[in-house]
Chains A and B, each alone.
Chain A
Amino acid sequence: MSDSHIVSSFDEELNDLRSAISRMGGLVEAQLSNAIQAIAKRDDALATRCVESDKDIDDLEDHIEALTLRMLALRQPVAHDLRQILSALKTSHDLERMGDYATNVAKRASALSQLPEVGPINGIVRMGRLTHRIITDVLDAYTQRDVERAMLAWERDEEIDQMYTSLFRELLTYMMEDPRNITACAHLLFVAKNIERIGDHATNIAETVYFEETGRRLEGNRPKGDKSSFAVVKPGELPDG
C-alpha cells in the first residue's frame, strides 16, 4: 500500500495534526520537568513562569480540536485515517490534563518555597523524573507509531504507582511526627498525587497508540501499584517506603 493519499492535502493535514501533538507533548514534558525543578530548587520564579506557560498547552489543545473537527467534517475519514484523527483528539485531551496537573505541581512549588524544607523531597523528584521518562517514551511511541514501545511504557506506570504509595505512607509519618510539618507535607501529598495522575494519562496515550495502529482496543488490567487508598499508618510506626 502506498503511504500517500491521492489527495495530497489530506496527507498535509494529517502531518499537521501529528506535529501539533508532538509540540503539545514537548510542552507538557517541559512543564513537568520545570515544575519538578521548581520543587527541588525551591525556585518560586521558575514555578511562576511554569504556571503562566500552561496557557500555551491549552491553546494547542484548542488548535488540535479545531483541526480534527475540520478533518472529520470535510474528509470523512475511514480506517487507519479515522483512527489517527480520533487518537489525536484523545491524546490532546490527555496531554491537556497532564499539563494541568503539572501546573498544579508548580503552584504548590511556589507555596513550598515559602515554607521550611521538610519531607521526602528527593522521593518526589525521583518520582517526577520517572514519570517524565515514561511520558517521553509514550510520546516517542506515538510519533514513531511504535506499539511495542507504547506497551513497555504502559507497563512501567506500575513503578510510579508503587512510588506514590510509599511516599504517601512516608508523608503521613512526617505529619504525625510534628504537626508543624503538616502544611508542607499536605502540599507534597498533592504533588505526588498529581504526578501519579500524570502517569495514568500517559498510559491512556499508550493505549491510544495501540488502538491507532492495531484497530483493536487494549483490554485487560494494567498492573497497578497504587495501594495508597488502603494505606493506614498508626502513630509510632516507621515509614516502610
Chain B
Amino acid sequence: MTEPSTPTRDVTVAAKPPGPEQLANRYTKVQSRDVNVYYGEKHALKHVDLDVYENEVTALIGPSGCGKSTFLRCLNRMNDVIDICRVTGRISLDDHDIYDPSLDVVQLRARVGMVFQKPNPFPKSIYDNIAYGPRIHGIAHGKAELDEIVQKSLERAGLWKEVSDRLDQPGTGLSGGQQQRLCIARAIAVNPEVILMDEPCSALDPIATARIEELIDELRENFTIVIVTHSMQQAARVSQRTAFFHLGDLVEVGETEAIFTNPEDSRTQGYITGRFG
C-alpha cells in the first residue's frame, strides 16, 4: 500500500494504543538480540531482536518453516539436543544470558516450561504426571506438600474437578483436551516463570481449544507466556503482542490489535489476510 500524504489543514493522526507511558511500565522478561540459528548450512533464523514482556502472552505466527518454532525452542535451549544446530547472539532471562556455559540447563527448563503440540502425558497416573517434576526438583517435602502441589496445579489448569476422583488412573486415558490441560498442569507444577507453548491446540476440538485459551488468559496473571500458533484467530484472541516471522526473519512485532487491524509491513498484511503463505 502506498502511504498517502497527510492532509494539510488542522489534521493530526491518532496514535496507536497503548501509549508510551504504558509501555514504560512493562518489564522485559526475555530478551533476544541478534539471534541466529543454523541447522548445518541452513540459516534458519536471522538476526532476531525480540522482547517478551512479563505477564503477557506473546504470539509467534508465520508460515511453516518461517522459524517461529525454532525461535521458541531457543528460549529454553531445546535446540541443544539437535547436533547440527548452532545458535548465536544473546538470549537473556531476567537479564542473565541463558547460553552462559556455567548455567544449569535443567534449572533453566524448570524456569522456562514447555507445552507441546501433541499432548504427551507420561505413561503414569494423573497424580504422578504432576508430582514428577516437583519430586525431581526437590520442590516438595513430604506427601502432604506434594498432594497440595498436585491439587493446586490441577486447579490452576482447570482440570481438578474433572479428575479429582481418579488421580490414580493413567493420564493417557483422558480426552485430548484433558491431556493437554494435564500437560499444562505438569508444566506449572514446578513453578516456572515462563511457559512456552508450541501449537498447544492444534490437535484439539474447538471446545477444548476454548478451554485452553481461557486457561492461557488466566495463567498470564502469574506467568509469562510465549505461544506458537498456526491459527491467526487464536493469536488474535489470546495474545497481547504478536510477532510475525517469515523465511527466518522477524518481520514485524507489535501490539496484537495493531498487527491485526493495521500491520505496517506488507508481508504481514499479506499473510494475515490470506494472500500468501
Contact = CB atoms under 8 A, between A and B. Distances in A.
A216 B10 CA distance: 15
A4 B13 contact: no
Interface stretch (B28-36, B70-78, B212-220, B257-265): B257-265
Contact of A213 (B1, B9, B10, B274): B1
B277 A6 contact: yes
Given A81-B273, A220-B12, A214 B4 contact: yes
Interface in A98-145: none
Given A78-B261, A79-B263, A215-B261, A148 B5 contact: yes
B275 A1 contact: yes
A56 B50 CA distance: 54
B236 interface: yes
Contact of A1 (B5, B9, B269): B269
B82 interface: no
B11 interface: yes
Contacts of A210: 4
B25 interface: no
Given A78-B232, A215-B261, A151 B7 contact: yes
Contacts of A6: 274-277
B10 A220 contact: yes
A125 to B, nearest CB: 29
Contacts of B276: 1-2, 6
A193 interface: no
Contacts of A164: none
Contact of A220 (B3, B4, B11, B263): B11
Contacts, number: 80
Contact of A216 (B236, B262, B263, B269): B262
Given A1-B266, A6-B276, A79-B272, A223 B9 contact: yes
B4 A147 contact: yes
Contacts of A223: 9-10
B261 A4 contact: no
A81 B267 CA distance: 14
Contact of B273 (A78, A148, A216, A222): A78
B123 interface: no
B270 A1 contact: yes
Interface in B1-55: 1, 3-5, 7, 9-14
A2 B9 CA distance: 34
B231 to A, nearest CB: 10
Given A78-B232, A79-B261, A2 B275 contact: yes
Contacts of A221: 10
Contact of A5 (B12, B260, B275): B275
A154 B7 CA distance: 10
A147 B14 CA distance: 16
A241 interface: no
Contact of A148 (B4, B236, B269, B270): B4
A227 B267 CA distance: 48
14 contacts: A1-B270, A2-B275, A7-B274, A76-B233, A78-B236, A78-B273, A80-B269, A80-B273, A214-B4, A215-B262, A216-B14, A219-B11, A222-B10, A223-B9
Interface of B: 1, 3-5, 7, 9-14, 232-233, 236, 260-263, 266-270, 272-277
Smallest CB-CB A-B distances: 8 pairs: A215-B262, A147-B4, A151-B7, A220-B11, A1-B266, A1-B270, A78-B260, A220-B10
Given A5-B275, A6-B277, A215-B261, 11 more contacts: A1-B267, A1-B275, A3-B275, A79-B262, A80-B273, A82-B260, A147-B4, A151-B7, A216-B262, A218-B7, A222-B10
